[in-house]
Amino acid sequence: MGYKGWENFQPGQCKSATLQHRQQGYRSRELGQAFEDRINMVCDFYRTRGMAYIEKTPEPFKVTDRQYDKHGKFVGFTGHFEKQAQPDYKGTLRTGRAVCFEAKATEAGKIMQDAVTEWQDRALEQHQQFGAEVFVLVSLSLRSFYRVPWTTWKLMKHIYGHKFMTAEELEKYRITDRGTGMVHFLEESKNEQL
């Protein structure tokens, strides 16, 4: 009696795949954080000029345990998210209209529709039904930025024939760079009155 498949086993193969997965996760988190930093900078710009007050939605995280070394020095903690993620940013424009959007960054040449989770989808839909300005802010490799209206995002399959948007399909939603290094996502909307 023996085990089948052992002849294809390669020691280190599992470790290599896990390491690659971890590295990709780390890279994705870093990319997302860099994108959020740029958005936060623009939100501060809008606030200081009286154009809009927009905040990053805090993640509901609960610390369940704190770890200390043998000398009593804090070394880390464990915890978990208490509920599903909400849309990334919410706020109010100078006109009094609410704004709510999700920020998605990728290094791929396209953005997948399912990058917005089911929970976020429902929340964005609700905000739009109540009259908020709703969109998805997309970054391709932190070089190109796009503001995709929520209706377009929702109808992606119907409009483009697939559940993703390529750089070419995103082009009409491009946020132009004015040489400031800031992603001026509100001023790019032709329908927005600031």
Q: Where are the domains of the chain?
A: 12-58+85-173
Bridge partners of 51, per DSSP, are none
Q: How many CB atoms lie within 10 A of CB 125?
A: 13
**Averaged in consecutive runs of 10 residues, what is the pLDDT profile of the chain (194 residues)?**
51 63 76 91 95 87 69 69 73 96 93 94 96 96 94 96 96 83 70 36
Instruction: Return the pLDDT at 139.
Output: 94
Instruction: Return the pLDDT at 67.
Output: 78
Instruction: Return the pLDDT at 9.
Output: 52
Phi, psi of 53, rounded to the nearest 5 degrees: -120, 105
Cα pseudo-dihedral 61, 131, 125, 138, rounded to 10: -70
Instruction: Return the pLDDT at 10.
Output: 57
Instruction: Fill in the DSSP letter of residue 174.
Output: B
Residue carrying the six token digits 């909307």: 189
The whole-model pTM stands at 0.75
Instruction: Return the pLDDT at 110.
Output: 94
Assigned token pair, 49: 């000029």
Residue carrying the six token digits 């940013």: 89
Q: How far apart are CA 73 and CA 80, in angstroms?
A: 22
Assigned token pair, 80: 């978990």
Instruction: Return the pLDDT at 72.
Output: 80
Q: How many CB atoms lie within 10 A of CB 7?
A: 6
Q: How many CB atoms lie within 10 A of CB 19?
A: 11
Instruction: Return the pLDDT at 115.
Output: 94
Instruction: Return the pLDDT at 112.
Output: 96
Cα pseudo-dihedral 160, 166, 169, 175, rounded to 10: 140
Domain 12-58+85-173 has CATH 3.40.1350.10: yes
